[in-house]
Amino acid sequence: MASPDKKTRQEYEKLKAEIHEHNRHYYVEDNPVISDAEYDRLFDRLLEIEKEYPELVTPDSPSQRVGAEPSKKFEPVKHRQPMLSLQKVTTAEEFEEFHRRVTETLERTDVQYITEPKLDGLAVELVYEQGVFTLGSTRGDGAIGENITPNLRTIGSIPLKLSDKTARKYPLLEVRGEVIMRLSDFARVNEKLEEDGKQPLANPRNGAAGSLRQLDPKITAGRPLILFAYGISDRNLDGLSSQRDVIAFLKNEGFRVNDLIRYPSGVDEVEQVFNELTERRESLDYEIDGMVVKVDDFEAQETLGQISRAPRWAVAWKFAAELAETRLNDIEFSVGRTGQVTPVAKLEPVKVAGVMVSNASLHNEDEMKALDVRLGDTVVVRRAGDVIPEVVEVVADKRPKKAKTVAFPSKCPSCGTELIRPAGEAAWRCLNLACPAQVEGRLIHFASKGGFDIDGLGDKLARQLISEDKVKDPADLFFLTKDDLLPLDLMADKRAANLIAAIDQSRRAELPRVIFALGIFGVGEAAARLLAEQFGTIEKLQTATQEELENIPGIGPVIAKTVHEFFENDDTRRMLDKMREGGVVFPRYETERTGGKLAGKTFVITGTLSRPRSHFKNQIEQQGGKVTGSVSSSTDYLLCGEDPGSKLDKAKKLGIDVLDEDGFNVLVS
């Protein structure tokens, strides 16, 4: 094989540099300067050269972000300098005590601090040798972590190569940071997992940690992770004498650093920054559980030293607890509409983040075993944002004697059918479609906002309709009369009339809503819309072959097989026929939307609006527009409700048109 000539080598090096620079604009600065098509052209040319001349490929090539082979296990990595944990404070008085100890040890009162949000992700260390990223590891126990280098390479905000000047000045450099998954990305990942019939992620932190600990880096590459760099391991490098110096250096080298880092002096300024961060917390697109406060000067840090595994020069000032301890009284097993069985912790009621919590998820059998949770245990409960409360820890030293374990059931708690655990899944399932718990779940899903949108049909009423034998499957809803409803609990004449009217109005639901409402395993709102756009009518979808379904962009073989089997099922055919008899129209779905008023326009939706966001998203997409999760230079409009948060600030900064609901209605009318 011929060696590359000088011209090819120069082109290759230029391509690497260009792509690294564009990655920085995109992943670090959120400000791409070229189109996706132009970026793809550069990347394709890079791959073309590497294919012809594989000897050119080095670890810092952009192609290496996704090119590693799956690992069999993670090798241990000993940190050259320990990755210390932090002492915690929870009140201003406790921080004042920390400050007092600092000033007494340093024998001065004018202490400069640096503060940063305490990110809820996974701490990692990145080793650069001669400026090239060669080793990446988890924090582990602080002394020894796990080698996850191939997975970290897939994260776009991690530079694979530093500047030549830095490579010469610091032949060995260890950078530390936190890998997180943003809330908006977490929601999109879970939506896709659910559409694919897979177990959703429990929360953003677990999503980030689990993504980084995949044995196959290609799985990690498909997860939207970002790294915020916050420090280096050495405090004696020439030219870097403080945390402030390090942050400026890291930013200059292409690392992403948090834009909420501040440099307050003394107690009062630190407390002010903490209060401001507390106010901004709910508007952030990532989870934080407090603020890290560090003494800025490295010489002062050396003087203060450390105790055991924590430094004396830093502290984590935690927010008012989103964690709470309480007693676990029982574990019940809930059966969802898809037959998945979920363990639920029944708790002594406790207030968490302002909400009284008495139930918390234990997710699945594996999580139960990992926690080793037992009846009577004192457990730590977490509630972050809109995430369902979950048990995150057992307080082992408070365990009562002879505390009993609870076995995961082998039979369905609702109908007694033998449970199965499909290969590759963490969940046990009941496959009996007539299972009462599943029927109830399907009925609630059928009537939900994303489905037939039957206002007034909630959990309690669904349970009554099934227990009173008024409804055996969702199609029976379209045969209900006011006389059927009036004998039910708390069902006055007006409420019954309103429900009948809501059912009547739902008979002309759009096809995407109908498909979503049917509750096909793995088909969420996005997949339902793709199917509706492809086939246009429920009749064509019913007769679609598995091959036709697989050929739809965005519909993979797993969903295609599930959809095909669903419509081949005799029970499905009978239910659809019954719906037609009940007056459901199944109108044709118009797929030609390219000429809509909003064609080519990109929207971001933020804040609290008068109706669910899905309502506005549907309007935008029906007129040719699209909705994304984050504001960027390619955004055309920000639809803004109450309490919009940081997206409004960014939209104003970029000069993007901001619409309230009235303005939006004028635009789409």
pLDDT at 26: 66
378 or 618, greater pLDDT: 378
Q: Please, what is the average pLDDT of the chain?
A: 86
Query: Coil, strand, or helix at residue 49?
Result: helix
pLDDT at 72: 60
* Phi, psi at 539, each rounded to 5°: -65, -45
Q: Is the pLDDT of residue 194 over 80?
A: no
**Per-residue confidence at 467, pLDDT binned at 50, 70, 90?**
confident
Give CA–CA dist 205/216, Å, rounded. 19
Which residue is listed with tokens 């349970």? 463
Quote the DSSP letter at residue 55: G
DSSP 17-36: HHHHHHHIIIIISS---S-H
CB pairs under 8 A, 24+ apart, for 651-658?
Answer: 651/604, 656/631
Mean pLDDT, rounded, for 83-98? 89
Contacts of 588 (CB under 8 A, 6+ apart): 511, 536, 537
Structure tokens at 559: 């969903």
Q: Report yes or no: 232 and 174 within 8 Å, Cβ to Cβ.
A: yes
663 or 624, greater pLDDT: 663
74 or 272, greater pLDDT: 272
**Per-residue confidence at 624, pLDDT binned at 50, 70, 90?**
confident
**Per-residue confidence at 16, pLDDT binned at 50, 70, 90?**
confident
Cα–Cα nearest to 65, from 80, 84, 50, 83:
50
pLDDT at 321: 61
Summarize pLDDT for 128-186 with one digit per residue, the tens. Answer: 999 999 999 998 877 788 899 999 999 999 999 999 999 999 999 999 999 999 999 99
Quote the DSSP letter at residue 397: G
Mean pLDDT, rounded, for 402-425? 89
- Catalytic residues, by residue number, are 118
Structure tokens at 373: 């949770």
In the beta sheet, which residues pair with residue 136? 126
pLDDT at 385: 44
Cα–Cα nearest to 609, from 640, 650, 635, 637:
640
Give CA–CA dist 562/574, Å, rounded. 18
Structural domains in the chain? 6-57 (1.10.287.610), 87-318 (3.30.470.30), 322-431 (2.40.50.140), 436-508 (1.10.150.20), 511-581 (1.10.150.20), 602-668 (3.40.50.10190)
Summarize pLDDT for 199-222 with one digit per residue, the tens. Answer: 788 788 888 888 888 888 888 888
Mean pLDDT, rounded, for 470-488? 89
Q: What percent of the chain has pLDDT over 90?
A: 37
The verdict on pTM exceeding 0.75 is: no
| Dihedral sign, Cα of residue 638, residue 641, residue 647, residue 652 | positive
Give CA–CA dist 306/506, Å, rounded. 66
Q: Is the pLDDT of residue 386 over 60?
A: no
pLDDT at 29: 64
Contacts of 192 (CB under 8 A, 6+ apart): 526
Cα–Cα nearest to 181, from 258, 261, 286, 284:
286
**Per-residue confidence at 570, pLDDT binned at 50, 70, 90?**
confident
CB-side exposure of 491: number of CA atoms within 13 Å? 22
Cα–Cα nearest to 205, from 334, 344, 385:
385
